[in-house]
């Protein structure tokens, strides 16, 4: 008979999650799941696996529509309805990167990885190959860093800038006029200013900040959306040009300095 820890590991693999993201979805710590799957390290070097309690098993069954008979060895079908498509959009991304302390890292998606990201956003191995790092002040939520491509958001963001997005748990939480990274099946990864019409029409309206006429507004249906990230911070190598008023102030300051020097010489 297959042990319960192996069955839970099979559920995690079938959902294409890692231990941390699986644990977060059912409301427990990643340490709890690790202790069930791999066991706690003992003083003699062995590992002792923790047996899952009833509440944890119930959470797994309810959250992922798992067939209870599978967990207790009476069925080979993991899910109650194997033909039911597992929803890709949920409360957290399918795969999350963590550091050795179990804290979430910010995964960096450069331009060259964009195409692969559309296929690998739920692939643990793919996400683990992407660069990741810890940002101490980005801790309240799950964050991802995307490299900006193109000029559609010029005036606000430039090609090569880095934007840091917080994962949107519910599409209805998207706020009008804010900037988001939207990952979708048909349009790929786009950085746009968004108008939310999910409740009324089941879609988002995506707008560009660049108004030169080359980037028209378009809509995207909710069922096409894989991920949505609310941009909360960005890093740019584009330094703004001095504003004209500062030029005038600098000119005035230089004249005052020169005048003071002349007065001192003549006194």
For 117-168, give the DSSP string.
Answer: HHHHTT-HHHHHHS-EE--TT--SS-EEEEE--SSTTTTT--TT-EEEEEEP
> Other C-beta atoms within 10 Å of 164: how many?
20
Reduced to 3 states (helix: H, G, I; strand: E, B; else coil), residue 218 is strand
**Are 114 and 219 within one domain?**
yes
Both 155 and 40 in a single domain?
Answer: no
Residues 30 and 138 in one domain: no
Q: What is the pLDDT of residue 245?
A: 60
Q: Which domain holds residue 114?
A: 106-235
Question: Looking at the whole model, is its pTM more than 0.75?
Answer: no
Residues 121, 230 within the same domain: yes
Q: Give the chain's domain count.
A: 2
**Which of 44, 71, 98 represents a domain boundary (last residue)?**
71
149 lies in the same domain as 53: no
Residue 249 φ then ψ, to 5° = -65, -40
Is 114 found in the same domain as 22? Answer: no
Q: Are 151 and 205 contained in the same domain? A: yes
Judge if 113 and 228 occupy the same domain: yes
- Predicted confidence pLDDT, tens digits, the chain (267 residues): 688 999 999 999 888 788 888 888 898 988 899 999 989 888 887 888 899 998 999 999 988 889 998 998 888 889 886 544 444 466 678 778 887 777 889 999 999 998 888 888 877 788 889 999 998 888 888 999 999 999 999 989 999 999 999 999 999 999 999 999 999 888 899 999 999 999 998 899 999 999 888 999 999 989 889 999 999 999 998 876 665 665 677 677 778 888 888 888 887
Q: Which of 45, 71, 97 is the last residue of a domain?
A: 71
Give the length of the chain.
Answer: 267
**CB of 105 closer than 8 Å to CB of 151:** no
């Amino acid at each position: 008979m297959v042990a319960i820890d192996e069955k839970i590991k099979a559920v995690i693999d079938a959902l294409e999650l890692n231990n941390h993201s699986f644990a977060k979805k059912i409301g427990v710590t990643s340490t709890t799941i690790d202790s069930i799957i791999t066991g706690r390290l003992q003083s003699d070097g062995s590992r002792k696996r923790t047996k899952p309690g009833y509440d944890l098993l119930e959470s797994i069954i309810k959250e992922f529509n798992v067939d209870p008979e599978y967990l207790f060895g009476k069925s080979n079908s993991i899910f109650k309805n194997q033909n039911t498509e597992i929803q890709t959009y949920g409360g957290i991304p399918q795969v999350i990167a963590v550091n050795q302390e179990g804290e979430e890292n910010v995964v960096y998606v450069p331009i060259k990885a964009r195409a692969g990201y559309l296929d690998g956003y739920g692939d643990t191995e793919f996400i683990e190959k992407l660069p990741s790092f810890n940002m101490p002040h980005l801790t309240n939520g799950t964050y991802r860093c995307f490299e900006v491509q193109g000029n559609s958001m010029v005036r606000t963001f430039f090609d090569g800038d880095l934007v840091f997005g917080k994962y949107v748990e519910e599409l209805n939480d998207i706020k009008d006029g804010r900037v988001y990274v939207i990952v979708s099946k048909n349009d790929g990864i786009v950085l746009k200013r968004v108008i939310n019409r999910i409740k009324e029409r089941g879609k988002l309206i995506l707008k560009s900040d660049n108004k030169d006429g080359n980037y028209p507004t378009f809509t995207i249906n909710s069922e096409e959306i894989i991920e949505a990230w609310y941009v909360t911070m960005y890093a740019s190598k584009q330094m703004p040009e001095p504003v004209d008023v500062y030029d005038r102030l600098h000119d005035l300051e230089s004249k005052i300095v020169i005048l003071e020097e002349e007065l001192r010489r003549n006194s």
